[in-house]
Amino acid sequence: MKAVHTPIRECISCGGKFPKASLLRIVKDESGIFVDASGKHNGRGAYICHNAGCLEKMMRQRRLNRAFKSPVDDDVYRAVSQILQSFEDNEDK
């Protein structure tokens, strides 16, 4: 029986490698930069794990700017922060 392939992606903050399904994807396409909940949108993608330390490092070092090679609005950083914090709140329950 053939083994199932699991795509692996790298967190832009810690550099850790994780299964794609366990990371949050941020996408840049023609319409702008946004969080891709489905993980299947067309465009350049950057991934971040659900670790609070990675979120803080991403915001402090402006890691999305580096990943997309262009300036990223603070609104995008706030949206990512809110989504990751909601994941943490759900895990605590």
pLDDT (tens digit, 9 = 90+) per residue, 36-76?
988 889 999 999 999 989 999 999 999 999 999 999 999 99
Q: Average pLDDT for residues 9-27, to the nearest whole number? A: 96
Phi and psi (nearest 5°) for 56? -65, -40
- Residue 2 confidence (pLDDT) above 70: yes
pLDDT digits (tens, 9 = 90+) for 20-42: 999 999 999 999 999 998 888 99
Instruction: Give residue 78's region: left, alpha or beta (phi > 0; psi -120 to 50).
Output: alpha
pLDDT level of residue 92 (50, 70, 90 thresholds): low
Please, are residues 9 and 59 in contact by the beta-carbon 8 Å criterion? Answer: no
- pTM of the prediction? 0.89
